[in-house]
Amino acid sequence: MSITWTGEVPIAPYRGSTELSGTATGGYTMGMLSKVLKTGVAIKAVQVIKREASKPENQRKAQELVAKLRQQPRGPR
């Protein structure tokens, strides 16, 4: 009996996976890469929001918006 190397490394399913099989060359890798990229984009968005929120002119605008919303009468729910 001989064992032939196919070049594909089987990997265990990651948490939250709906697939039952995959290899290191595809399957889970693309899904995991997609999640990592989405996480990176979300982190960058939070950094931008924090930076913009720290600017005095944006703080003033936010305070004006809150005051305006508080003055509006609330309708029935």
Give residue-wise pLDDT tens across range 22-75: 555 556 678 888 999 999 999 999 999 999 999 999 999 999 999 999 999 887
pLDDT for the residue numbered 73: 86
pLDDT for the residue numbered 75: 76
Residue 18 belongs to a domain: no
pLDDT for the residue numbered 12: 59
pLDDT for the residue numbered 7: 67
Question: What DSSP element (H or E) covers 65?
Answer: helix 56-71
Residue 66 belongs to a domain: yes
Q: Tell me the three state secondary structure of residue 10.
A: strand
> What is the span of the domain harbouring residue 58?
38-71
Residue 14 belongs to a domain: no
Residue 51 belongs to a domain: yes
Residue 4 belongs to a domain: no
Residue 58 belongs to a domain: yes
Residue 1 belongs to a domain: no
Residue 5 belongs to a domain: no
- Please tell me the total count of domains within the chain: 1
